[in-house]
Chain A
Amino acid sequence: MAHIPNQYNNVPGHQTSMPGPFPQHNQIPPSQVPGPVKQDGNFNPASIAAMNSQTNHFNQSTNSSPAFNHPGMLPPLPTSLQSSPMRPMKTTVTQNQLQNIQNIPVNSGSPHPSNPSPFPPNIQRPQINNNAPPLISTSQYNQPFMNGPTTGPIGNVNHYPPNSSSFSPTPPTNLPPTSSNYGPSSLNSNYGGNQRLPMSSMPPGYSQPNVPISGPPISGPPLTGLRNSPVTTGPPGNLPMTNVPNISGPPVPPLGPPRSNAINGPTMMGPSTASVHSQMGPPKGLPSGPLSLPAGPQLRQPMPPNINPPQHQLNNGPLEQQGYIAGPPNMPAGKPGLQSGPVSGPPMSHSGPGPASGISGQNTNIQNRYPPMPYTNLSPQQQMQVQQNIAKQFPTHNLYGVTQQMSNLSVTKQGFDQLWGHQMVDLMQCKNILPEYLEEPPEIKLAHQFAESPNCSSEIFRCTVNRIPESNSLLQKSRLPLGILIHPFKDLNHLPVIQCTTIVRCRACRTYINPFVYFVDSKRWKCNLCYRVNDLPEEFQYDPLSKSYGDPSRRPEIKSATIEFIAPSEYMLRPPQPAVYLFLLDVSQIARESGYLQVVCETLKTNLEQLPGDARTQIGFICYDAHVHYYLMSEGLTRPKEMTVLDIDEIFLPSPESLLVNLGEYKDMVKELLTILPQRYSTPGVPASALGAALQAAYKLMAPTGGRITVFQTCLPNIGPGGLHSREDPNARSSKDVAHLNPATDFFKRIALDCSGAQVAVDLFLLSSQYCDLATLSGMSKFSAGTVYHIPLFRAQRPWQAEQLTQMFTRYLTRKIGFEAVMRVRCTRGISIHTFHGNFFVRSTDLLSLPNVSPDAGFGMQLTIEESLSDLQQVCFQAALLYTSSKGERRIRVHTLALPIANTLPDILHAADQQCIIGLLSKMAVDRCVSASMSEAKEALINAAVDMLSAHRLAQNLPAGAAAAALHAPAPLRLLPLYVLALLKRKAFRTGTSTRLDERVADMCLMKCAPLPALLRVVHPDLYALHALPAHAHAHAHAHADAPPPPLPPRLQLSAERISMNGAYLLDDGETMIIYVCHGVSPAFLSETFGVAAFSQLPDEARSLPKVESEGNEQLHALIEKLNDDRPYPASILILRDNSPSRQLFTERLIEDRVESAFSYYEFLQHIKTQVK
């Protein structure tokens, strides 16, 4: 079956029929990148070969340049550097720097010993494929239908919905009377009857932690089990692979149906605004008609939807024009015609309310009664700001029961608002608030000077507000959280990598040179963070393309906001460490019962070759139950030798060496060990786990080198140092306030800090079948920059769980890894970082110590404005990640983000990025849960939404909450209440519903360190209608391979109202995709998609999608693959009938509906409305 290459899966698995449509990093086409740029090591040879057609035409020029040689050519070229036309070049350029991808020598130590001459400064490093390709097996899709046992408390039957009629909207019985204009159908359809969950009964054996050790300890010398085991030395079963070039698809949201564009605002303008209009071009993305709405009956949309499919082409010209015009007022903008923009604006905004106010007696339109914030004080730049990303669906304020002729009047104003990007939405009126496709963050519009500069991709670097408030008081007024989210080590397909003898940095603040610096002249540059004027090294002025000195702005450092340097030896405190992996395997009684060891050993054996590393890679294993077992693999031995240390209180290493062995030299022995281990520990064992002692041993083993410790834990560690007791009270799982979110002991934190100091990261796979006190255990990963993976109630006998673990672990093993990393985030003077979120240790005010960095780790930072920024034009953030690649190279990845300044409240509110805000809010709420209490955290989340709406009310001078029927939100923040509600219903924060403490904590860990797209999916899952799929994508089903891939089906709101009883739905929450089949679905659909004849033949709970030779099935598979494309490993699949016992898994994610202990969306809005002041 086809497998889509994705950005994680850089050695694509199978030939593709669809290019991956997901947004890639802001790419620099190679043809534009001058000499020293090369593509990142993420590339595989095939893709590089595919790139050659693009790269060749500049290879030609760079080849002959002295300092650069071309990137990306696959065969090892006999490249001899030619001498510089300007100065003779020293011949110290070593040949080993000019090798091609396949044979990279180990550069232990400084790769570039000494090159005293500044010329040639830029020695092209070879293309390095240092990222072992993550491999995602595609066989997962081919599993037969499995009717797995229900998991734990899930088995409780929830009578919801009791019958089919409950899906149809019921009369709004619980709506407050103020909702008379809300429409005939209630948002809040009651699921007829009480869906009270029975208190979930515990799975048997859940509370049996402290079992005393019994039986004599197993001791010392190699056991016979080891000897008798079969030796498997064959090559591991590699998955078949074909190389596919990395296809970097365009971002996915634009791939959807063309954005509609209703430009009716400006057409209503008077003649005086015509000049403004003509200068500004048509505003982009004005809210469009209801064409995309699923026919909300109460929506009245007076604007004719001018559908404008080729919108991008249409708007490109005017937009560029805007970019030039939009200078701050004190900029010498030059053209006299420009002045008319701001001047003519305000009169119109005053005249707008004039005629309208006469009618306002019978009109509820607040806009007409109250002249909104007069825009006279706006700078032209702000007036020109036209938001690109106003979504299509929301009705603007002309919706509130205005008659046709009135809407004509308000349209003028509306046009202005749209022109300035200041749209509002009445949340109470706007039922279909969810856009069909995920929105892009608000556009960043920098001042004239940098309007063309490439900014950092929003996937890597994102700020909660895309225009920074100029002062702290303004920020306080806006009540928005200010912070940034970074995904610094994201897998990128196009990353310029350069190597030079001197990396140009500011002498004062050590900022790396970036696209937003100001060149005073060709010899000096002004730092954009501290404003110091620095000298440019001469080599930087050399332009490799024209072979001349001069304009330094053609350098890749200036052309790309994301760049990677190969660091010279100044950036090393010690020689780059080798890749060292140590696996800590729990072999206690519960672990043996769960059978995870088999799965893990198999997966590891398969992926040994794919482990990132070079010839120095080391590997080791420690097993632990009541004792700690080491595995000695050394020269003289034919088999691994087990050594058991009985004394767990004073742990020591039984052998000074050979516990960590070179993977290349001892691969056979490692494989043998992996074969033996599951059998060795298949007999019943000791019900005790000495995790603390094992961790201490691992630390002792790893401390000299650094590396990665992977811990598999299945039960509560109950003996030895760091022993824990069960704290969870199963009866309090649904209580209002949650206790024990804090660690019970700081043992794991201290060992994590020790590890962090020794450049060791600890990753935890918690495959628990009982309470394991993750709140305490997670400390070992949290402070050592590790990751926590949690599969609750794991049993290897359940194939889907084994599959999930395999995929998770495969991705974990094969993904890129950076060792001994530090990340520093620098901000423009006046802004400082307040709090960090994520897994790391904060070593100083802006420096994070990351012993390991993985491509799946995200970070968040809260910012404070310490000084007034009003004299600045923009604010910059620079994140620099210094790491050692698995090939032993020291590299620096630098991301720079620049944001403009705003000086009015409406500007800030309308530049807010609601997705980023919710990402930051969730992290802050997790912190609050731990430091204060769950109820306080939930209160704070609600207050965040209330504050935001209050600030907007103040800014727009709207009447107070009780007086008005409407609840206005600025358009870019209109989803925030929905997201907050979704967050409150997440496992981490929900109360009243039975939630295991470990799952709650695991969810919190995820929120702290997941990158934003994954986090959003977890918070607000995507719901797609499957029965509508064929009509949607039919045209593309047999399209040619290079035709654009079929767009994703539109997202549905998460409400039972959207669930028709003759439909089938797919709910994607990142970890799982639940396919929910309603009983009224047509048999044709069933047979075509699932290969069953009737609804009753569907199993209660299936864990894989059967493969049927039919179009519908193919499409569904294609859809699932596409959804899986941008996540680290494929989501597991669960097919449910609407009368399955565990359908609650699906219905509990319909977050807009009321559950017994939480608001529905409409109730939530009502609640917020009463609090908005």
Chain B
Amino acid sequence: MAFSFPAFSYIIALIVDAFLIFFSIFHVIAIDELKTDYKNPIDQCNSLNPLVLPEYLLHLFMNILFLLSGEWISLLINVPLILYHIHRYRTRPVMSDPGLYDPTSIMNADVLTVCQREGWIKLAFYLLSFFLYLYGMIVVLIAV
């Protein structure tokens, strides 16, 4: 039983992951509101866009901790998502503000479907990885 740096990184990862779960829930709800005509796409994009970079950075920060603490398995699981985030941000529409979502193209059914699917998949991923980190934390904590 030792409170080591890996244990610390898992604890941080759990907290961060909880935030990420909230982000993706918000994302799913926001896209769904667009789909059902509740919100104006300009307002919705304005509320979604500021959250994109924080989410990506939080996720990256968590993985840097894993990298530093040498938790390779947890890191490996997250690498595809990091690469996806980088790809997604590189191919974003021309925008002067940070963010991904363009109010003029988001109402396209294809874009909307992609966004919604992305939200659900991310939510599932964050949820599963939450339990993984919990397990990892316990393993690290009870290890001698």
Which residues of A are in contact with B by a Cβ distance under 8 Å?
Answer: 742-747, 749-750, 753, 757, 783, 832-836, 841-847, 864
> Is the pair A843, B40 in contact by a Cβ cutoff of 8 Å?
yes
> Is the pair A745, B94 in contact by a Cβ cutoff of 8 Å?
yes
**Interface contacts beyond A745-B96, A836-B108: sample of 10 additional A-B pairs, CB < 8 Å, sorted by A:** A744-B94, A745-B94, A746-B94, A746-B95, A750-B96, A841-B104, A842-B107, A844-B41, A845-B109, A847-B37
CB-CB nearest in chain B for A848: B107
Q: How many Å from the CB of B58 to the closest CB on chain A? A: 26
> Is the pair A842, B109 in contact by a Cβ cutoff of 8 Å?
no
**B98 beta carbon closer than 8 Å to chain A:** no
Most chain A CB within 10 A, of B34, B40, B107, B110, is at B107
B-side contacts of A833, CB under 8 Å: 109
CB-CB nearest in chain B for A844: B37
> Is the pair B110, A842 in contact by a Cβ cutoff of 8 Å?
no
A-B contact count (CB 8 A): 49
* Contact digits for B19-36, partner A, Cβ 8 Å, 1 yes 0 no: 000000000000000110
A-side contacts of B108, CB under 8 Å: 834-836, 842
Which residues of B are in contact with A by a Cβ distance under 8 Å?
Answer: 34-35, 37, 40-42, 93-96, 103-104, 107-110
Q: Which of B35, B42, B93 contacts A753 (CB 8 A)?
A: B42
> Is the pair A747, B96 in contact by a Cβ cutoff of 8 Å?
yes
Q: Which of A742, A757, A842, A847 contacts B104 (CB 8 A)?
A: A842
The verdict on A753 contacting B103 (CB below 8 Å), with A744-B94, A745-B94, A835-B108 known, is yes
- Report 30 cross-chain contacts, Cβ distance below 8 Å, ordered by A residue: A742-B94, A743-B94, A744-B94, A745-B94, A746-B94, A749-B104, A750-B96, A753-B42, A757-B42, A783-B104, A832-B109, A833-B109, A834-B108, A834-B109, A834-B110, A835-B108, A835-B109, A835-B110, A836-B108, A841-B103, A842-B41, A842-B104, A842-B108, A843-B41, A844-B37, A844-B40, A844-B41, A845-B34, A845-B37, A864-B109
A-side contacts of B34, CB under 8 Å: 844-845
Provide the bound-state CA to CA distance between A749 and B97, in Å: 13
Provide the bound-state CA to CA distance between A834 and B40, in Å: 18
> Is the pair A845, B94 in contact by a Cβ cutoff of 8 Å?
no
Q: Which of B41, B42, B96 contacts A746 (CB 8 A)?
A: B96
Provide the bound-state CA to CA distance between A1089 and B128, in Å: 82
A-side contacts of B104, CB under 8 Å: 749, 753, 783, 841-842
B-side contacts of A846, CB under 8 Å: 37
A-side contacts of B37, CB under 8 Å: 844-847
Provide the bound-state CA to CA distance between A783 and B42, in Å: 12
Q: How many Å from the CB of A742 to the closest CB on chain B? A: 6
Q: How many Å from the CB of B47 to the closest CB on chain A? A: 15
B-side contacts of A746, CB under 8 Å: 93-96
A-side contacts of B42, CB under 8 Å: 753, 757
Q: How many Å from the CB of A230 to the closest CB on chain B? A: 46
A-side contacts of B95, CB under 8 Å: 746
B-side contacts of A832, CB under 8 Å: 109
Q: How many Å from the CB of A780 to the closest CB on chain B? A: 12
The verdict on A845 contacting B107 (CB below 8 Å), with A753-B42, A757-B42 known, is yes
Provide the bound-state CA to CA distance between A866 and B40, in Å: 24
Provide the bound-state CA to CA distance between A847 and B41, in Å: 11
Q: How many Å from the CB of A1075 to the closest CB on chain B? A: 42
B-side contacts of A834, CB under 8 Å: 108-110
CB-CB nearest in chain B for A863: B109
CB-CB nearest in chain B for A744: B94
Q: How many Å from the CB of B63 to the closest CB on chain A? A: 31
Provide the bound-state CA to CA distance between A805 and B112, in Å: 41
CB-CB nearest in chain A for B45: A753
CB-CB nearest in chain A for B39: A844
CB-CB nearest in chain A for B104: A783
Provide the bound-state CA to CA distance between A745 and B93, in Å: 10
B-side contacts of A753, CB under 8 Å: 42, 103-104
Most chain B CB within 10 A, of A832, A835, A846, is at A835
Provide the bound-state CA to CA distance between A864 and B109, in Å: 10
> Is the pair B109, A844 in contact by a Cβ cutoff of 8 Å?
no
CB-CB nearest in chain B for A849: B40
When A and B form their complex, which 8 residue pairs have the shortest distance between CB atoms, in order from nearest?
A842-B107, A844-B37, A834-B109, A746-B94, A835-B108, A746-B95, A743-B94, A783-B104
Provide the bound-state CA to CA distance between A836 and B110, in Å: 11
Q: Which of A745, A747, A845 contacts B35 (CB 8 A)?
A: A845
Q: How many Å from the CB of A481 to the closest CB on chain B? A: 14
Most chain A CB within 10 A, of B35, B96, B109, is at B109
A-side contacts of B107, CB under 8 Å: 836, 842-845
Q: How many Å from the CB of B93 to the closest CB on chain A? A: 8
B-side contacts of A841, CB under 8 Å: 103-104
Q: How many Å from the CB of A781 to the closest CB on chain B? A: 13
Q: How many Å from the CB of B114 to the closest CB on chain A? A: 13
Q: How many Å from the CB of B25 to the closest CB on chain A? A: 22
A-side contacts of B93, CB under 8 Å: 746
Provide the bound-state CA to CA distance between A757 and B96, in Å: 19
Q: How many Å from the CB of A37 to the closest CB on chain B? A: 33
Provide the bound-state CA to CA distance between A845 and B35, in Å: 7
